[in-house]
A and B are shown apart, each in its own frame.
Chain A
């Protein structure tokens, strides 16, 4: 690996980091605008034209607010909580293939930070680590509402991780690889996995909602019962990090869903388009397609949030353990039978 390659890798990491943060920033703006649209309001429209500078104003406000660490809190862990939340949110993007390999001035640039051969499991590990930020923050606040929020988050994450893992297993049985790059390449042009795994995709998206703590699964921060849930005691940018981590998680899980099930950067007629645009602009067009898919998923997250009310806690547990897990196991069995029959009769 020469110096140029290392520089390119470094630049790619920087670009992905900035894109994740900007996407998360403008997701907050989009959320407020979409909520306004759904409720027949106007939404933020004061900062800049159409309120487009609103996220900057929000960020500035968060930074300038007074920082409070409660007297009874554990100070070190109180700070570790939100730091861990934002850290786990940001490292998930390392294994996502953003586009095909492209050529810039003789260099072949791989639009993926690292292609480890257990990429799917890496994503899964990062997701399972994400709950520690919430749990440590909620416990360190030394507040009953925070603790209840943290405990809810822990049990919810564990319950939905199981069905998420099981729904991925059915997909892996078809792809035969754990590398996200290979999974993306198998879905060339229109051979998207969602056509082969419709039930698996529905299970996965429900679990993704639960893992990112989005409505209707936002019980850990349910304001009608728990004041503010795990972040009741937080103020200033530490609160901002918790809220921000949720939007980054939403962006990353949309990217994962698009890669695993909706073809990633592939689209019908991509060979023709690549021939037309060449090896630099063709892959970039694929990246644009990928981001359109991600934005559609983020819109779907918001659409659901402003449409469906929150679950009751027992309903949440029933859905996770009594409906999703049996469905996921049935999906695995059906996938096994289906793929065996297909290879046996040689279709």
Chain B
């Protein structure tokens, strides 16, 4: 349990650094560390497959793309857009409301009963595959169609207009 608290502390610590870092590339690097702590969380819960997939997809692919895009953009102090007063005010206002909501939710806090899984090996590849392709087959297939349509849309946006060329 103490491992959990330590890792949870690290997750929160790094995610605060993500938003407080001045340099966007440093932000991304802290985000990588945050995702790494998530991987450790999954391993603690014995969900090895989710852990490794989080590792490959989020740390290994999506954040590499983030970093890649940030490196391509010229992010200097001079080119940084100056935000108008109203935008800053709206940001502070929104953040304040979020804090109020979080503090209000503390009122009904209580220690929850730990969920005991019927099968502790639920997170292993074999069991996960069986669950995904039996009980949750329809949502699984629907989400794959969603991803496919997003991909087709991205390709369509990226190709040049044949009439303009």
What is the 8 Å Cβ interface bit string for chain A, positions 153-171, against chain B (1 contact, 0 not)? 0110110010000000000
How far apart are the CA atoms of A124 and B49 in the complex, in Å? 13
A261 CB to closest chain B CB, in angstroms? 21
Contact residue among B25, B48, B52 (Cβ-Cβ distance under 8 Å from A139) = B25
Q: Does B59 contact A (CB under 8 A)?
A: yes
- Which of B66-74, B81-89, B107-115, B134-142 has 4 or more CB atoms under 8 Å from chain A? B66-74
Q: Does B19 contact A (CB under 8 A)?
A: no
How far apart are the CA atoms of A151 and B61 in the complex, in Å? 14
Query: Chain B: which residue is nearest A120 at the CB level?
Result: B52
Asked whether, in the complex, the Cβ of B65 is within 8 Å of the Cβ of A117, the reply is no
What is the 8 Å Cβ interface bit string for chain A, positions 115-133, against chain B (1 contact, 0 not)? 0111001101101110110
Contacts of A129 in B (CB 8 A): 55, 59-60
Asked whether, in the complex, the Cβ of B53 is within 8 Å of the Cβ of A121, the reply is yes
Asked whether, in the complex, the Cβ of B64 is within 8 Å of the Cβ of A135, the reply is yes
A-B contact count (CB 8 A): 60
Q: Supply 14 A–B pairs (Cβ within 8 Å), ascending by A.
A: A77-B29, A117-B125, A118-B49, A118-B52, A124-B56, A125-B59, A127-B60, A128-B60, A132-B64, A135-B64, A136-B29, A139-B71, A150-B71, A155-B68
What is the 8 Å Cβ interface bit string for chain A, positions 97-120, against chain B (1 contact, 0 not)? 000000000000000000011100
Known contacts A118-B52, A122-B52; A132 and B32 CB within 8 A of each other: yes
Asked whether, in the complex, the Cβ of A151 is within 8 Å of the Cβ of B48, the reply is no
Closest 6 CB pairs of A and B: A128-B60, A125-B55, A121-B52, A154-B68, A125-B56, A118-B52
How far apart are the CA atoms of A6 and B72 in the complex, in Å? 48
Dominant secondary structure at the A interface: helix
Query: Chain B: which residue is nearest A131 at the CB level?
Result: B64
Q: Does A21 contact B (CB under 8 A)?
A: no
Q: Does A243 contact B (CB under 8 A)?
A: no
Q: Does B147 contact A (CB under 8 A)?
A: no
Q: Does B124 contact A (CB under 8 A)?
A: yes
A243 CB to closest chain B CB, in angstroms? 22
Query: Chain A: which residue is nearest B62 at the CB level?
Result: A158
Query: Chain B: which residue is nearest A128 at the CB level?
Result: B60
Asked whether, in the complex, the Cβ of A151 is within 8 Å of the Cβ of B71, the reply is yes
Asked whether, in the complex, the Cβ of A147 is within 8 Å of the Cβ of B59, the reply is no
How far apart are the CA atoms of A147 and B53 in the complex, in Å? 29
How far apart are the CA atoms of A150 and B72 in the complex, in Å? 11
How far apart are the CA atoms of A157 and B68 in the complex, in Å? 11
Query: Chain A: which residue is nearest B60 at the CB level?
Result: A128
Known contacts A125-B60, A139-B25, A178-B125; A118 and B68 CB within 8 A of each other: no
Asked whether, in the complex, the Cβ of B61 is within 8 Å of the Cβ of A158, the reply is yes
Known contacts A132-B32, A158-B65; A118 and B71 CB within 8 A of each other: no
A19 CB to closest chain B CB, in angstroms? 26
Contact residue among B29, B61, B67 (Cβ-Cβ distance under 8 Å from A128) = B61
Asked whether, in the complex, the Cβ of A161 is within 8 Å of the Cβ of B60, the reply is yes
Asked whether, in the complex, the Cβ of B56 is within 8 Å of the Cβ of A121, the reply is yes
Known contacts A131-B64, A157-B64; A117 and B56 CB within 8 A of each other: no
B103-125 interface with A by 8 A CB criterion: 124-125
Asked whether, in the complex, the Cβ of A128 is within 8 Å of the Cβ of B25, the reply is no
Asked whether, in the complex, the Cβ of B61 is within 8 Å of the Cβ of A161, the reply is yes
What is the 8 Å Cβ interface bit string for chain A, positions 265-305, against chain B (1 contact, 0 not)? 00000000000000000000000000000000000000000
Contacts of B65 in A (CB 8 A): 154, 158
Contacts of A117 in B (CB 8 A): 48, 124-125
Contacts of B59 in A (CB 8 A): 125, 128-129
Contacts of B68 in A (CB 8 A): 135, 151, 154-155, 158
Contacts of A77 in B (CB 8 A): 29
What is the 8 Å Cβ interface bit string for chain A, positions 321-344, against chain B (1 contact, 0 not)? 000000000000000000000000
